[in-house]
Amino acid sequence: MKQRTGLVLFLLFLLSGLQAQPVQSAIQLKGKIKKEVSGQYLLYLPKDYRQSTNDWPLVLFLHGSGERGTDLELVKKHGPPMLVEQGKEFPFILVSPQCPEGRYWSTEFLDAVLQQVQKKYRVDEDRVYVTGLSMGGYGAWALALEYPDRFAAIAPVCGGGVAQLLAPIQDLPAWVFHGEDDDIVPLKESQEMVVAYRKLGKSVRFTVYPGVKHDSWVQAYNDPELYEWLLEQKR
């Protein structure tokens, strides 16, 4: 079966000896946890990945609540997966999981996805980043807090979290984005995280888009500086 260098769907089996296949199906993953978790994701490999022997940066993208379900096409609706679908090329591995309908991001599932991808592909473990929008912005904060030593930087868009719990990631570079007039996730959700971060003594970038409502991800993910900034960060 012809391999693609764009967004590829992989079925990953727990059984040893089976090869990943580019089919649209659920994956079963097993990480450090003692239970099995399941889900699916989109994988993008840079165009030069096959021709090189280098380790590559990895960006984990978490979608919002509207893209939950079992149809991976939904994951391409916003953010980096949408840009890849439109033909944009990135100099990093892009992993875009899908959250099941009616659920929120599971850090166990995301950990398992990262472990599987890092095992199978040439990933620079000092240049792994997480970003996400809305529900995915909350997920990005939660995942970084759960695994504070894994990421080189975090870029939550119109998300939030528990500001009192930020101490474990106080040295993690962060760039936070939000729309000033967001009527779904209030601006204060990001403001509280940024204020708490700064009280810990960490410099954090904070971009507020004047007059923008909940779709602040449009400007954030279309800004080349975001990707340049991410790739400058190392663990």
Q: Which has the higher per-residue pLDDT, 3 or 66?
A: 66
pLDDT at 37: 63
From CA 215, how far away is CA 233, in angstroms rounded? Answer: 26
Does 2 reside within a domain?
no
Does 1 reside within a domain?
no
Q: Is the pLDDT of residue 8 over 70?
A: no
b vs e for 71-102, b when ≥16 Cβ sit within 10 Å of the residue's Cβ? ebeebbebbbbbbbbeeeebebbbbbbbbeee
Does 137 reside within a domain?
yes
Q: Which has the higher per-residue pLDDT, 15 or 182?
A: 182
pLDDT tens digits along 33-73: 445 667 889 999 998 898 889 999 999 999 999 999 988 89
What domain range includes position 168?
A: 7-232
Does 16 reside within a domain?
yes
Where does the pLDDT of residue 201 fall: very low under 50, low under 70, confident under 90, or very high at 90 and above? confident
Task: Look at residues 70, 72, 132 and name the one whose alpha carbon lies nearest to residue 103.
Answer: 70
pLDDT at 203: 78
Does 204 reside within a domain?
yes
The two three-digit tokens of residue 45, written as one number: 């490999």
CATH number at residue 124: 3.40.50.1820
Residue ranges of alpha helices (H) inside the chain are 79-85, 107-120, 135-146, 187-199, 217-221, 224-232
Task: Look at residues 95, 91, 24 and name the one whose alpha carbon lies nearest to residue 62.
Answer: 95
Percent of the chain with pLDDT over 70: 84
Q: Which has the higher per-residue pLDDT, 126 or 120?
A: 126
pLDDT tens digits along 145-176: 999 999 999 999 999 999 999 999 999 999 99
Q: How many domains does the chain have?
A: 1
Where does the pLDDT of residue 7 fall: very low under 50, low under 70, confident under 90, or very high at 90 and above? very low
pLDDT at 133: 98
Dihedral of alpha carbons 111, 116, 119, 121, sign = negative
Q: What is the mean pLDDT of residues 197-210?
A: 92
Q: Is the pLDDT of residue 90 over 80?
A: yes
First to last CA, the chain: 37
Q: Is the pLDDT of residue 24 over 80?
A: no
Q: Is the pLDDT of residue 89 over 60?
A: yes
Q: What is the mean pLDDT of residues 17-38?
A: 40
pLDDT at 55: 96
Mean pLDDT of the chain: 85
Does 201 reside within a domain?
yes
